[in-house]
Every structure is written in C-alpha cells, then in structure tokens.
Chain A
Amino acid sequence: MDCKIVGNGSADIIHEIEKLKLDKKEIENRISKLEAQLKADEAVQMKANQACSSYDSILDGHAVSSNGLTPGMIYRYSRHLLLPDFGVEGQINLAKSSILVVGAGGLGSPVVLYLASCGIGCIGIVDSDIVELNNLHRQIIHPEAYVGHAKVKSAAAACRAINSSINLVEHNQALQASNALDIVSKYDIVVDATDNLPSRYMISDCCVVMNKPLISGAALGLEGQLTVYHHKGGPCYRCLFPTPPPTAACQRCSDSGVLGVVPGVIGCLQALEAIKVASGIGETLSGRMLIFDALSSRIRIVKLRGRSLQCFACGDHADFTQQSFQSFDYEGFTQSPMSDKARPKLSLISDSARITSREYKDLIDRQEPHILVDVRPAHHFKITAIPESINIPLSALEDQISLVDSYLKEVAKDSGKSASLYVVCRRGNDSQRAVDFLSKNGFPLAKDIIGGLESWAQDVDPSFPIY
C-alpha cells in the first residue's frame, strides 16, 4: 500500500515536472521574444539617434562619376543639373544635406514632398498627430487610406513612393523642449511647419541654441507669411516678437478656417527657401518677410529689422543655454497650448445657468415652451444648426437684443405659458459669454447648453454634422 502510494506519488511528481518543464519552455520563449523586440526597438532608436547620414548612404555601393553623382542621380536630377546657377554642385549639396520638417500638416505636406523629390539626402519628419478626414483638403501628402494612422508614417510612405534613394527618419512624437535638442542636433536645417504659437517660440529658440537656420512659414484663412530666421546674422523669431501676443489674437485653422491651397503655396515657398539654404544658391528671405494675400493675389516682401542686440535668445549678452532652453515653459510663456486641437474651456457662468445637451433634448420632448438662440457667426449657422434655433451672432447680440424679447413673447403667446431662453454655440464658450451678457441685460434666466453643438452631436444626435 505504501508502495502504491509512493508509485502514485512519483507519477504525480513526474507529471508535475513535465508540466513545469512546459511552463519553463513557454516562459523562455516569451523571454526570447521580448528580448528580440527590445533589440529591434533599440535598433530603430539607434537609427533615429544617429546623425542623419545622407550622402554616403545614398551612394551606397553605386559607381560614382568624377563629379560625385551616380548615373542614376544624373538622370533623375538632370533638369536641376541643367540649371547653370544650380548644377552639379547644387545637387551634391542637396544630397549632403539633412533637413528636419516640424509638422506634417498643411505647410509640411508640400515641404516634405518637394524635399523628397529634389534629393535632399536625409529628411526627418516630426509630428505626433494622426491623419483626420478634415485634414485632407489641404494636407495633400496624406491619402484617405491613412486616415486614423500617424501623419509621420503617411508622409514617409508618400516620400518613399516618390524617391526611394533618400533617407527618411520618422519622429512620431511631438517636438518639445525636452526632446528638441536631441532631434534638431541631427539635422542641418529646420523647417517650422507647425500650427501654434508656443511651438514657434520653442523651435526658434532651439535653432538659436543649436545654431541652425530656420525656415518659418505660417498660414491662416486666406493669408500666409514666410521668412528665414537665424541665418547669416539675421534676426530670430524673438528679435521680431520679444513679447507674445495676447491669446485672443491667436487664431487657429480649426476655428477660423483656411483655404487649402494657401498653406500649400507657403509650404512650396518654404521648400524653395530650404533648397536655397541647402544648396547655397541665391538670396534667402533672411531679414525679409514674404506676406501672401490670396484673396487679392498680392505678394508683399518687406524688409525686417536685423538681429536685436538685446534679444533674449540671440542677443549679444543673451544667457540662453541648452539648459535654459530645456527648462523654459513655452506654453506658460505664450499662455497657449502646443496643439491646434487643445481648446481652453471657459468657465464664466454658474452651473445653475447651464444645462447639458441631454437635458435640453428632454425639454424638447416635454414640449417646454422656449427659444434656442444660436450665437455662432452666420456662416457657421449655414453649415448646420439645430432645427427651430434662431441665429443671433454673439457680435450682434447687443444690437439685436430686442429680437430675443420678441421671439420669447411670440412663443409665450402661442403656448399660453412663459417661454424660457436657451443659448447654444459650437463648443460652449461663446454661449456662456452670451448668457453672461443676457443675464445682465434683462434676461436673468437665460441658460446655455454645455459643450454646445459638439456635445449635441456626441450625446443626443449622432447624425448631427460636426465640423
């Protein structure tokens, strides 16, 4: 009996050992898989960390003519080589250059496409955004198939499809003071194709600290601006704008709109300036600014002040180091976020003067007598609106306040009860300003819809168009 117990016991033990051996094998498998993954990640990181090697890797085993170009390059870039002012030397300079493009959006799209086509040896693209459908009207590098994917991946794929002989480095992250020195250090030239104020100060400062020329472009609505900073003794961004503008003066494409081709025009000109700096030909826009007015087809080129001796970043006595750059709070300095998407949420009126979009839907269902005033600009109202809402733009509210009263009286007359007053806008900021104004001007019970039409679309009516 004892024997049997022992026999049974050893069988159990053997079974247990085998089970453990299987577990061990599985764990070992997982370890080696993870190790391989780590190695691959490190390799990618190392590749990104390497100084952007351009010329040598382009040549990579190809026979080189005495002028330094391969037969393939001579054929591909022949129209460049035929330009007497550009020629072989210009093309070799491009092949030896590395350029960092910050932002793969409306400006960055043509910049990156032209830099890739023209044979810049190495192009780095920095962006942390993903491609959205409402980007495609202007961000021409991105196809529909990449909606929902990283912009950097989409842009790099487009470049590879055009020119497989150049090096592309994908920096799928936001450029910030903490990583900018490391990234920018690997390139010769920087192109600012961003969409926000703190990034513009940060990139300019970084270029001063790292001593890189900066091709800076901007576009909004139907206007664009372009210049070259910190190049050949010219001014930097801070020389021109030592103090940031008030946040109310900073319009965004997502609020004010932009005609797709306008950043396209500025982006093309940025690519041109970058090519001039890289190849060493011509006269760049350093110390000058190009101002483009698309509506009147006017381009003005103005002469800017020189480098400021008192400049905080590049002045003669500036004490602005890599360390001070890294610890500088750009969002605090400009009072605005490093993203076109982040929007300040206003909290102007008390919670009792606000209702949610769901609560508003309930009161419609209860048939509560009321009017809904939509305070967006008239051209917004034409895009989409809640049925029965009345458009009185915020800017016209003061002049048309008597309208509110007459609409309320009309509804009260029809329903036999007093009518309540609700206010809506796109996101719930202007509606608060309107309620604040209304409450001080004879309508103490006015309420606004929290989150505006965006929350109406999100929480009540998924078929309601968003823009």
Chain B
Amino acid sequence: MQLTLEFGGGLDLLCQSVKIHHVDVTPNVENGKLTLRDLLSWVRTSLIKERPEMFMKGDSVRPGILVLVNDCDWELCGGHDTELEEKDVVVFISTLHGG
C-alpha cells in the first residue's frame, strides 16, 4: 500500500532528518488490511533509526505526539484501529513548547 508519511516537530531527527517518506507497506496477509497499529510497528522497525523510545511507548506513540491521517486527528477516525487506504497521508508531529 502506497502511503506518504511525514515527521514533524523534531521527529524527523529519529529517521535520518528526512521529513517526508513515500513508502510501500504490505497489508496483513490474512485480511489484506492495514491499520494504524500495523503502521506504527512498521515505522518502528523500518524507519526509526535511533532512540525508538522518543517515538513509541508500549504499542502506541509516546505522549506529546499527534497522529494525523489525511489532516485529521487519529482520535477522530478510530485511533489504532483506523484502517488505512491507498495514498493516505499519515503525519506524526511532536508538540513544540518553545517560543
């Protein structure tokens, strides 16, 4: 499944300072679906090159990270169980506190 992943608010530093990744992720063999839960574990193993604890906590993102699917908070579209579709854009953004 072709997806665009974006990392912001400093999270790009965890994946070699690249903000936008065009990726091809294989859906589940059994049902042909890909959920955000699946994507998170794929990102952790395939994209995050250092300090994975700065991205994940348990099986979710660490506190202070917003996950957006097609510019919409994942809490509004089903959280971990959100089913992704071809050409979806998933943004991971860490909140900033500076000023």
Whether B71 lies near A301 (C-beta < 8 A) is yes
**Contact A249 B64, CB 8 Å, known A225-B96, A305-B75, A305-B76:** yes
- Total count of chain B residues near the partner, CB < 8 A: 27
Whether A240 lies near B66 (C-beta < 8 A) is yes
Whether A245 lies near B68 (C-beta < 8 A) is no
Whether A219 lies near B76 (C-beta < 8 A) is no
Nearest CB in chain A: distance from B94 CB, A: 6
Chain B residues with CB under 8 A of A223: 8-10, 96
- Total count of chain A residues near the partner, CB < 8 A: 48
Selected contact of B71 from candidates A217, A241, A300, CB within 8 Å: A300
Most chain A Cβ neighbours within 10 Å, of B95, B98, B99: B99
Is A332 positioned at the interface, with any CB of B under 8 Å from its CB? no
**B-facing mask of A201-237, CB < 8 A → 1, else 0?**
0000000000000000111110111000000000000
Measured between alpha carbons, how far is A248 from B57 in the docked complex, in Å? 13
**B-facing mask of A299-310, CB < 8 A → 1, else 0?**
011111110000
Measured between alpha carbons, how far is A225 from B98 in the docked complex, in Å? 10
Whether B99 lies near A251 (C-beta < 8 A) is no
Selected contact of B62 from candidates A194, A218, A245, CB within 8 Å: A245
Chain B residues with CB under 8 A of A195: 97-99
Q: Which residues of A248-294 have CB atoms within 8 Å of chain B's CB atoms?
A: 248-253, 256, 258, 263, 289, 291, 293
Q: Mind listing 19 A-B residue pairs with CB under 8 Å? A: A194-B97, A195-B98, A196-B97, A197-B97, A225-B9, A225-B95, A240-B95, A241-B63, A241-B64, A244-B63, A245-B95, A246-B53, A246-B62, A251-B96, A252-B97, A293-B19, A301-B71, A305-B75, A395-B50
Q: Which residues of B contact A (CB under 8 A)?
A: 8-10, 19, 50-51, 53-54, 62-66, 68, 71-73, 75-76, 91, 93-99
Q: Which residues of A contact B (CB under 8 A)?
A: 103, 105-108, 193-197, 200, 217-221, 223-225, 240-246, 248-253, 256, 258, 263, 289, 291, 293, 296, 300-306, 340, 395
Q: 17 other contacts beyond A263-B98, A304-B73, with CB at 8 A cut-off?
A: A103-B99, A107-B99, A108-B99, A200-B97, A225-B96, A242-B63, A244-B63, A245-B63, A246-B54, A246-B64, A248-B54, A249-B54, A251-B98, A293-B8, A296-B19, A302-B73, A303-B73
